[in-house]
Amino acid sequence: MTRNERIELARKTSTPPEILVELAGDGDWSIRWRVTQNPSTPPEVLVTLSRDKNNYVRWHVANNPSTPLEVLVALSRDENDYVRWRVAANHSTPPEVLLILMVDDEEYVRGEAEVALNRRLMRP
């Protein structure tokens, strides 16, 4: 299968979960990050990809609204500040994690966490 065919499969919401599982193990990181963006990707695949060696793949896991809570908690401690920033921006991140991110070493991570927490506190 060509790279473009794999990209298309990774993106299509009609791709069966077992194919997404296979694509999550692709050697090409750009295929794996596209799997993280697919709303049909099973949560267990997001768990696996949250440990990917590529920061960009983890960034997209942190950005996915379907990412399991325990993964968001783990990614809030990721070595890469952009990954932590996406955790702060994820609407599924619980307030307890946002409070931790509000004392992050990086100012923009702290700022995103503060904005996200304030947004939640203002909801009716």
Catalogue all structural domains in the chain, each as residue range(s) with its CATH number.
3-121 (1.25.10.10)
Task: Give the other-Cβ count within 10 Å of 110's Cβ.
Answer: 17
What is the Cβ-side half-sphere exposure of residue 109, based on CA atoms within 13 angstroms? 23
Task: Give the other-Cβ count within 10 Å of 73's Cβ.
Answer: 15
Per-residue pLDDT of the chain (124 residues; tens, 9 = 90+): 899 999 999 999 999 999 999 999 999 999 999 999 999 999 999 999 999 999 999 999 999 999 999 999 999 999 999 999 999 999 999 999 999 999 999 999 999 999 999 988 887 6
Q: What's the whole-model pTM score?
A: 0.90
* Contact between 12 and 36 (Cβ < 8 Å): no
